[in-house]
Structure 1
Amino acid sequence: MPIEFNRKPRSLLEAKRWKATEFRQFLFYTGPVVLIDTLSPDKYLNFVCLHVSATILSSSSYADYIDYADSLLVYFVNTFTTLYKPEYVSHNIHNLLHIAQDLT
């Protein structure tokens, strides 16, 4: 685990009480490992698209892949709306469609 995380990860059962750093750790590191045996294949692929796009967009080393990250986010948002209940589709989900544009 990278040194940037100062706390031991808490259980998924405690996710409602997680701090922002715990969500970040889950998105970038532990989520893909934990969720592979937890989610259906469609939902897991949806999460992995978010994971990969966030990884690309968070590092200048991957600047050549911003368009790919953008296409992953479009796929993520479109499939999210079909995989989950409409009440889970918030403005935050929609705003993911604009993140890659902000970096170019």
Structure 2
Amino acid sequence: MRGSFEHAYKLLTNYFVEVSLVNPDFVFDIETMSCKYKRFTRCFWCFGPPKKPYKLLKPVVVIDKTFLKGRYRGTLITAIAIDPSNYIFPLAFLITDSKTTES
């Protein structure tokens, strides 16, 4: 919270590994550019199969994006569904650079 963005991005892999120890179904992928230092490019994560079966979720998946402002620009993309109680149920997340063919 109080460190730099560079330090936070370096800890991202460690954070995801710790989450996967608690939740073995957790899926993540971090892509970096090879240069003098590994440079963060994009990452994807999903918390794995929910405790509630997917068949109970409403049959609509909503995908939305928001732009990240500040020193490090990019896009946060989320995929969500709605559970039977009309609550938002997160499915997957992606942080990527904006408007590139690769992303």
Specify the TM-score bucket, using the shorter chain as the normaliser.
0.3 to 0.5
Larger radius of gyration: 2
TM-score normalised by length of structure 1: 0.34
TM-score normalised by length of structure 2: 0.34
